[in-house]
């Protein structure tokens, strides 16, 4: 299993300087990928343009969206932005798409929330075709275009993933929840007769430091996930706050067959990245 780190762009108040510095340091660090998350009606950075910026200051790390809310975008425009980032980064884009969980994002974008599932299914096949046929440029760096992942937990989500994508990206939770989802993804993949195995990606949040720092991280989690109602508390409880917790978590995900786990910060502070890099190196999980 490879380990990546998320950019702090989802945390309100993050400075643009920190994003650039974070991306640079991640590229120099033990990480395999740099992740972004998506939320429209929120004081967060837009994920694809953020990755385009990150592409310019990095040379090595994969640039992954875990995830972008696909149906909010027009297919052709999304296809073009993705293939552009892939070209600018020398083929480092991993595009994770999902339907998201908030109606307000759809309302703000003027997209019908009810039809989001079907829109994503159509979008996946349309984007593949647009890339391969060269309808939208620039020219592909890889024959099939950027790596395409699908997230989402409904039964149809897994079928969609197995039909068009290269793999599955998990939304978060303890290793046993991931293991069940991974089984579903593999079952759907084999049933579809796709060769090999689906790539399995996942994400989690971390906050490292003294009690006050950890508490601030928890507050961010509760605020960010307030839309899930009482589950925000549960999600905040899953925050990884020590080297030991990270070690166990990585082990659990690795045993469940995860290919790449992206750890997102709950605090916009470069110290968080440095601590995580230190821990991963100590755990022998350095990809460099």
DSSP E strand stretches across 104-229: 147-151, 167-169, 199-206
Q: Is 186 in the site for other proteins (CB under 8 A)?
A: yes
CB of 260 to other proteins, least distance (A): 16
Out of 25, 102, 194, 222, the only residue in the binding site for other proteins (CB under 8 A) is 194
Q: Would you say 198 and 162 are in contact if contact means Cβ atoms under 8 Å apart?
A: yes
Phi, psi of 182, deg, nearest 5: -65, -40
Out of 159, 247, 283, 287, the only residue in the binding site for other proteins (CB under 8 A) is 159
Binding mask 17-46 for other proteins (x = CB under 8 A): ------------------------------
Q: Is 162 in the site for other proteins (CB under 8 A)?
A: yes
Beta carbon nearer to other proteins, 45 or 164 = 164
Q: Choose one: 48-56, 187-195, 218-226, 238-246; the region binding other proteins (CB under 8 A).
A: 187-195
Check residue 134 and give left, alpha or beta (phi > 0: left; psi -120 to 50: alpha). left
Q: Give the number of residues in contact with other proteins, rule: CB under 8 A.
A: 36
Report residue 13 as tokens.
Answer: 């108040």
Q: Is 125 in the site for other proteins (CB under 8 A)?
A: yes
Q: Would you say 201 and 66 are in contact if contact means Cβ atoms under 8 Å apart?
A: yes
- Write out the binding residues for other proteins, residues 232-261 only, by CB under 8 A: 233-234, 257
Distances (CA, A) of 178 to 34, 200, 252, 258: 20, 10, 9, 8
Q: Would you say 267 and 11 are in contact if contact means Cβ atoms under 8 Å apart?
A: yes
Q: Is 222 in the site for other proteins (CB under 8 A)?
A: no
CA–CA dist 226, 234 (Å, integer): 11
Quick count: other Cβ atoms within 10 Å of Cβ 251? 13
Q: Would you say 66 and 169 are in contact if contact means Cβ atoms under 8 Å apart?
A: yes
Report residue 27 as tokens.
Answer: 């590229």
Beta carbon nearer to other proteins, 5 or 165 = 165
CB of 90 to other proteins, least distance (A): 22
CB of 15 to other proteins, least distance (A): 34
Helices 16-28 and 270-282 meet at what angle, rounded to 10?
10
CB of 155 to other proteins, least distance (A): 4
CB of 198 to other proteins, least distance (A): 11
Give the binding site for other proteins (CB under 8 A).
121-122, 125, 128-129, 132-133, 144, 155-156, 158-159, 162-165, 180, 183-188, 190-197, 230-231, 233-234, 257
């Amino acid at each position: 299993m490879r380990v990546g780190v998320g950019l702090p762009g989802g945390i309100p108040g993050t400075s643009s300087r920190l994003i650039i510095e974070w991306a640079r340091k991640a590229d120099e660090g033990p990480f395999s990928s740099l992740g972004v998350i998506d939320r429209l009606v929120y004081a967060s950075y837009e994920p694809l343009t953020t990755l385009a910026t990150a592409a310019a200051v990095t040379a090595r790390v994969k640039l992954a969206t875990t995830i972008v809310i696909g149906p909010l975008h027009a297919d052709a425009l999304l296809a073009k932005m993705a293939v552009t980032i892939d070209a600018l980064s020398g083929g480092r884009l991993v595009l994770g798409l999902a339907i998201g969980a908030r109606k307000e994002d759809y309302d703000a974008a003027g997209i019908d929330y009810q039809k989001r599932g079907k829109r994503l299914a159509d979008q996946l096949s349309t984007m593949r075709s647009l890339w391969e046929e060269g309808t939208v440029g620039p020219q592909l760096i890889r024959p099939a275009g950027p790596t395409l992942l699908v997230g989402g937990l409904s039964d149809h989500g897994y079928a969609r993933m197995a039909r068009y994508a290269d793999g599955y990206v998990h939304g978060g939770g303890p290793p046993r929840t991931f293991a069940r989802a991974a089984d579903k993804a593999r079952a759907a993949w084999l049933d579809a007769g796709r060769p090999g195995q689906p790539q399995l990606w996942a994400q989690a949040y971390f906050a490292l430091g003294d009690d006050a720092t950890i508490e601030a991280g928890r507050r961010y989690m509760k605020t960010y996930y307030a839309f899930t109602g009482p589950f925000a508390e549960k999600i905040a409880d899953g925050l990884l706050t020590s080297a030991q917790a990270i070690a166990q978590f990585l082990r659990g995900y690795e045993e469940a067959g995860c290919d790449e786990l992206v750890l997102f910060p709950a605090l916009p502070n470069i110290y968080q990245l440095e601590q995580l890099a230190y821990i991963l190196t100590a755990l022998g999980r350095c990809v460099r």
